[in-house]
């Protein structure tokens, strides 16, 4: 019982890390997409590429972590989720191919047409992936995944899943703008700081409005989830998230980007936790509880030991990467990406 709870907590923590770090990656793609024409957007795109270069693969691996913990600890829920939501999951997977390839190869583009094609591919995929993953989360929370497989279309095209998809894009955009503003401030690019600060504040407002609208949608579409989110620990988590969101907004407003990184992570983590509290003890609402979905104790123990090893190995490694990255030890020279520029790094 408590083992399944612990595994579920770790799964949600992994999901939080992916939403914060992977989401920020996707958000950077969103700002790339909306940066404007080749000349106007050149400096923004250059800044995005420079900030993301060293960390995007490590950020992406959180997805693998979430998948692996999901199928090992909760195999009986993993099967139905995959068999029901295969359309958004497959589209997200195809998006991941496009995005990863385009980003890895963009530095090698030599002509205007190539840079544009790769850049557009990267940016479009960056928006679509969080959207489709968001619909998957929304479909699970909305109780649209029965055991044995559900409707491949209606499961993820209801109001709650679609709303979750849009919210995922907005959260990513907000995270990214804030991280990029902080990165620009560290490097002393004042025009970039202004540009991303404005985007962060705008995205924060949009995400906040969406969150409130979302609660209204959930109130009518998924009353059970709504009750969970508005009472007990669910309510505490939602309130905590709102508070952390507001603090983040103030910090960004005042240019305290470093602190804002952490409070924004808390805001996202609290939403994810609130979702977990709201639907507990159900893993697939109306179909499967956490305990029913969970693997046996020996597997859970082995998994937790593995994650313990992972923590010992990865903790210092990640700390090193982010320290080097945040201190600019891995920075490449800043170059605006115009259509014709060629990046040697």
Partner 1 sequence: MPVLPLDGLTEFAATITANVDQPYLFQARQMQALSLAVHIPLVCFGIAFPAMVLYMEGLHLRTGDPLYRAIAKRWSKVMLILFAVGVVTGTILSFELGLLWPRFMERFAEVFGMAFALEGVSFFVEAIFIAIYVYGWDRLPARAHLLAGVPIVVAGMTGSLMVIGVNGWMNDPGGFELDAAGNVTDVNPFAAFVNSNVWHETVHMYLAGIMVAGFIVAGVYAFGWLRGKRDRFHRAAMVVPLTFACLAAPVQIVVGDWAARTVAEVQPTKLAAIEGLEETTAGADLTIGGILTIPDGLSLLAQHDPDAVITGLDAVPVDERPPVAVVQTAFQTMVGIGTALAVLAAVYLATMVWRRRLPRSAWFYRAVVAAGPLALVALIAGWIVTEVGRQPWIVYRVMRVEEAVTGAGGIPVGYVTLALVYAGLAAIVLFLLRRLARRPLEVETPEEHR
Alpha carbon of residue 103 to chain centroid = 17
Q: Which is nearer to partner 1, 58 or 206 (CB)?
A: 58
Q: How far is the CB of 84 from partner 1 (least distance, A)?
A: 8
Q: DSSP string covering 52-110, please?
A: HTTTHHHHHHHHHHHHHHHHHH-HHHHHHHHHHSHHHHHHHHHHHHHHHHHHHHHTT--
Asked if residue 285 lies in contact with residue 276, where contact means CB atoms within 8 angstroms, the answer is no
Q: How far is the CB of 309 from partner 1 (least distance, A)?
A: 7
Q: Which is nearer to partner 1, 96 or 242 (CB)?
A: 96
Q: Which is nearer to partner 1, 63 or 127 (CB)?
A: 63
Q: Which is nearer to partner 1, 21 or 168 (CB)?
A: 21
Q: What are phi and psi of 54, to 5 degrees?
A: -75, -20
Q: How far is the CB of 72 from partner 1 (least distance, A)?
A: 3
**Whether residue 281 has a cis bond before it, omega within 30° of 0:** yes
Q: Which is nearer to partner 1, 86 or 262 (CB)?
A: 86
Sign of CA dihedral 155, 156, 160, 161: positive
Q: Strand, coil or helix: what is 283?
A: strand
Q: How far is the CB of 254 from partner 1 (least distance, A)?
A: 31
Q: How far is the CB of 36 from partner 1 (least distance, A)?
A: 26
Q: How far is the CB of 56 from partner 1 (least distance, A)?
A: 9
Please state whether 59 falls in left (phi above 0), alpha (psi between -120 and 50) or beta. Answer: alpha
Q: How far is the CB of 123 from partner 1 (least distance, A)?
A: 16
Q: Which is nearer to partner 1, 75 or 224 (CB)?
A: 75
Q: Which of 118, 123, 162 is nearest to 139 (CA)?
A: 162
Q: How far, CA to CA in Å, does 42 sit from each of 39, 192, 340, 344?
A: 5, 11, 10, 17
Residue 190 buriedness (CB in 10 A; 0-12 / 13-18 / 19+): exposed
Q: How far is the CB of 235 from partner 1 (least distance, A)?
A: 33
Q: Which is nearer to partner 1, 91 or 201 (CB)?
A: 91
Q: Strand, coil or helix: what is 286?
A: coil
Q: Which is nearer to partner 1, 81 or 203 (CB)?
A: 81
Asked if residue 107 lies in contact with residue 168, where contact means CB atoms within 8 angstroms, the answer is no
CA atoms within 13 A on the CB side of 43: 10
Which chain residues interact with partner 1 by CB under 8 A?
53-55, 57-58, 60-61, 63-65, 67-69, 71-73, 75-76, 78-83, 86-87, 89-90, 93-94, 96-101, 103-105, 108, 110, 149, 152, 295-296, 298-299, 302-303, 306-307, 309-310, 313-314, 317-318, 320-321, 324-325, 329-332, 345
């Amino acid at each position: 019982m408590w083992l399944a709870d612990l595994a579920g907590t770790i799964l949600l923590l992994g999901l939080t890390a992916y939403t914060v770090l992977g989401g920020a990656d996707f958000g950077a793609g969103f700002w790339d997409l909306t940066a404007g024409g080749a000349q106007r957007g050149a400096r923004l795109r250059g800044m995005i590429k420079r900030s993301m270069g060293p960390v995007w693969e490590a950020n992406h691996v959180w997805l693998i972590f979430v998948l692996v913990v999901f199928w090992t600890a909760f195999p009986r829920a993993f099967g139905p989720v995959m068999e029901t939501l295969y359309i958004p999951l497959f589209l997200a997977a195809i998006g991941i191919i496009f995005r990863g390839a385009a980003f890895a190869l963009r530095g090698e583009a030599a002509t205007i047409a190539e840079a544009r094609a790769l850049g557009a591919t990267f940016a479009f995929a960056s928006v679509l992936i969080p959207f489709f993953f968001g619909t998957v989360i929304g479909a699970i929370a909305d109780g649209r995944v029965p055991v044995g497989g559900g409707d491949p279309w209606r499961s993820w095209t209801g109001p709650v899943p679609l709303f979750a998809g849009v919210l995922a894009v907005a959260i990513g955009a907000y995270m990214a703008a804030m991280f990029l503003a902080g990165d620009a401030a560290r490097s002393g690019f004042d025009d970039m700081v202004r540009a991303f600060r404005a985007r962060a504040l705008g995205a924060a407002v949009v995400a906040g409005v969406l969150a409130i609208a979302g609660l209204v949608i959930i109130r009518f579409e998924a009353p059970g989830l709504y009750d969970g989110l508005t009472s007990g620990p669910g309510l505490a988590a939602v309130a905590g998230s709102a508070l952390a969101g507001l603090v983040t907004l103030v910090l960004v407003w005042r240019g305290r980007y470093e602190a804002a990184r952490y409070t924004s992570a808390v805001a996202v983590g609290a939403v994810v936790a609130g979702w977990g509290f709201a639907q507990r003890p159900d893993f697939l609402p109306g179909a499967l509880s956490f305990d029913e979905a969970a693997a046996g104790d020996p597997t859970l123990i082995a998994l937790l030991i593995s994650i313990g090893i992972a923590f010992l190995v990865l903790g210092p490694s990640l700390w090193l990467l982010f320290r080097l990255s945040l201190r600019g030890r891995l920075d490449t020279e800043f170059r605006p990406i115009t259509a014709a520029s060629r990046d040697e790094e």
